[in-house]
Amino acid sequence: MTASDLLSALNWRYACKVFDPERAIPDETWAALEESLVLTPSSFGLQPWKFLVIQDAELKEKLVPHAWNQRQVADCSHLVVMTTHRVMPEEHIDANIRRMMEVRGGTPEGLMGFRQMVAGFRQSGEEKGWLGDWAKQQAYIALGQFMLAAALLKIDTCPMEGFVPAKFDEVLGLTGTDYTSSVLCPAGYRSEDDRYGVLPKVRFDSKDVIERR
């Protein structure tokens, strides 16, 4: 891939407003996009999320009223609901450490300093009330990576904050759990009826948003 290829994909991408409900993302392509979610970086490597991938047409329709009746939720090929911890439990830290040892080796004793640091971060966030917001901010890293990966594969996406998290949680069976819906990203193929697909991007000039020092 060249620098030109990258910029071409980013210019091709837009927030798709009308998906073609008849076109499904091929399994092999979708598998790569799921892996792009798995590979998302996160603070401390904690990955405070679960990604719900919804293809069931009936379930997607149930979510539409709780997304301001935006049809992208139902007409896309795959709907990704990025959920995050309301208050990340300490067990999540231990699960992450076990995974670190599985992949890289090491011992609990050797990782004790890391665990204590992360546990202190978690406790501070819980006591001061910002832990859930931190987790949601992490989800936006996943959102950006997913959208870029999709654009490189010529898959359309639409990042969405316009929905009612509590209602999504209710429909998806998350109420009463430690996870809550944080941000949505429908993915699929743009419809020829979407007029936004041919409009030029409106962005500030680079000199207005990039400052070199």
Assess if residue 159 is contained within a domain: yes
Residues 79/21, Cβ–Cβ less than 8 Å: no
Is 47 among the domain residues?
yes
Bridge partners (DSSP) listed for residue 78: 187
- How many domains are contained in the chain? 1
Find the domain containing 145 and state its range: 3-88+139-191
pLDDT (tens digit, 9 = 90+) per residue, 32-74? 999 999 999 999 999 999 999 999 999 999 999 999 999 999 9
pTM above 0.85, yes or no: yes
Q: What is the mean pLDDT of residues 109-122?
A: 98
Residue 158 in domain: yes
Q: With respect to residue 125, please indicate whether it lies within any of the assigned structural domains.
A: no
> Which uninterrupted H or E stretch holds 49?
strand 49-54
98, part of any domain:
no
Q: What is the domain-level CATH number for residue 47?
A: 3.40.109.10
Name the token pair of 86.
Answer: 């309301």
Query: Does some domain include residue 178?
Result: yes
17 within some domain: yes
Q: What is the pLDDT of residue 173?
A: 98
The reply to whether 123 falls in a domain is no
Residue-level pLDDT at 115: 98
